[in-house]
Amino acid sequence: MTQHLADARPTSTGTQPGWWRDAVIYQVYPRSFADSNGDGMGDLEGIRSRLPYLKELGVDAVWLSPFYASPQADAGYDVADYRAIDPMFGTLHDADAVIREAHELGLRIIVDLVPNHCSDQHEWFKQALREGPGTPLRERFHFRPGRGENGELPPNDWESIFGGPAWTRVADGEWYLHLFAPEQPDFNWEHPAVQDEFRSILRFWLDLGADGFRIDVAHGLVKAPGLPDLGRDEQLKLLGNQVLPFFDQDGVHEIYRSWRLVLDEYAGDRIGVAEAWTPSADRTALYLRPDELHQAFNFHYLNTGWDAEALRSTIDESLDSMRPVGAPTTWVLSNHDVVRHRTRFGSLERARAAALLMLALPGSAYVYQGEELGLPEVVDLPDEVRQDPSFFKANGQDGLRDGCRVPIPWSGDQAPYGFGTGGSWLPQPAEWAGLSVEAQTGDPASTLELYRAALRVRRAHPALGAGDAVEWLPAPEGVLAFRRGDFVCTANTTSQPVRLPAPGTVLLASTDLTEPDVLPADSTVWWQG
């Protein structure tokens, strides 16, 4: 089977080694993509059936959020068995079928890996609880005695990302560390058994044909020696850049060097992608040295508003930080943890313009399912349907991640819009009928056709894709203009039209152009210079 998958693996089309240097990678959130059996929940067979859509869209690879066996305390990021599929998503045979069919279509598959923590239903953790204090299995996690006269206080002052203490006390009096939900105990990555187990998990999925891994909380595996107090009253941010004793510790790099050796055992440019929230782009670059991982999400870019000066600064900083380590910069506007960028930026026009700007930049781009449809955030979900664990913590995050996870619309004029035959696990808005794949296909003014056209041009144009630099051109205030070879991109981030001499022939525009030397408000135009 492995040989069959290797034979079917697509070949790199970039000018530099490594397909991933200029890849457009599409994130699928499995429970919200396509439901094959009518239970209201997306699944692997649903994903497999929609792979031709992704091929037609023009992406290079598909990243699948977790589908492992899990009690679903945190939407599958609490893994009970890293080698098994949760029945809600299907079987291991279904996962194999997704990988095989993707390869036959020329698509690669990246699977999510969650190494910072597991589920409290993972066999290791259940055994550790049974064996009690001081036993070997407890050393694979962070068990500690409490503070206070009777050990009634947590071992330190760390707070959970989801709110409340980062420690939970068990029946025998010890406490265990969980940077996220109590159902997600953190592994102790100082323990060799943990390191051995995850190298084995890597090989399991690589043997099945996976082309790489998106590494959840890649910055969190190693904690500062002694687990020192934070020493300040500060609410932690899931998507922040604070300097913390349990994030972005230097010891993580030894782990990823060992993982790179495993990835390099396999043909076909298998990659590791870090979800690494760090204080700076330079710190992020450390994860991408030649003997570590291949890509890291550019959250500095995701957090930049629709403002020309701020965008130019972030673009320059991103490219400058990646250049010394020889890694491609990545660009991302939305994912399963943040408000969709159409809503963040305030309009569909800005979202379309931001998409063309992102896809014109050198490096690799990530597209979150539904952004190609111009989906807005669903902000009015009833409290009783929400499932984000931080929603139930009064002092946790905003608890509104469900709004970007509503199942996407495929067809029809009534919910669930072709998602499946049995409704959808989160309700879809009535206005999504006009945003479905069916409604937008063939409409040249639609956001879907804009993405399809942009990805066709990006794939065909020799100046687009891989690279590590842009040539900034003179432009009025509020406008970005840069050249890459004979390609020029102009983006007007202001709310007014701006006159700018046409730098060439129009290749693609995010909105209609009434005059060739006028950039409409909140628009991006691609030019053949």
- Tokens 């945190």 map to which residue? 74
Closest alpha carbon to 432 in 421, 442, 418: 418
Instruction: Round to whole Å and give the CA distance between 296 and 259.
Output: 15
Are 460 and 452 in contact by the 8 Å Cβ rule? The answer is no
Does 265 qualify as catalytic in the annotation? yes
Q: How far is the CA of 194 from the CAs of 12, 57, 118, 140, 200, in angstroms?
A: 34, 39, 11, 7, 10
Does 216 qualify as catalytic in the annotation? yes
- Tokens 């990555």 map to which residue? 189
Q: Which long-range contacts (CB under 8 A, 24 or more apart) does 7-10 make?
A: 8/100, 8/103, 8/104, 9/103, 9/108, 9/209, 9/211, 9/267, 9/268, 10/60, 10/103, 10/106, 10/107, 10/108
Closest alpha carbon to 342 in 300, 306, 298: 306
Exposure of 297 in the CB half-sphere (CA atoms within 13 A): 27
Q: Residue 147 pairs with which residues in a beta bridge? A: 153
Please report, as a single letter, which amino acid is at residue 386: R
Torsions phi, psi of 24, nearest 5? -105, 120
- Tokens 């102790």 map to which residue? 188
Are 343 and 376 in contact by the 8 Å Cβ rule? The answer is yes
Instruction: Round to whole Å and give the CA distance between 144 and 151.
Output: 10
Q: How far is the CA of 368 from the CAs of 30, 40, 63, 459, 494, in angstroms?
A: 12, 20, 9, 19, 25
Among candidate residues 101, 216, 292, 349, the one labeled active-site is 216
Among candidate residues 264, 265, 413, 486, the one labeled active-site is 265
> By three-state DSSP, how is residue 508 classified?
strand
Q: Residue 509 pairs with which residues in a beta bridge? A: 525
Please report, as a single letter, which amino acid is at residue 407: P
Closest alpha carbon to 194 in 130, 114, 134, 270: 114
Instruction: Round to whole Å and give the CA distance between 154 and 398.
Output: 24
End-to-end CA distance of the chain: 48
Residues annotated as part of the active site = 216, 265
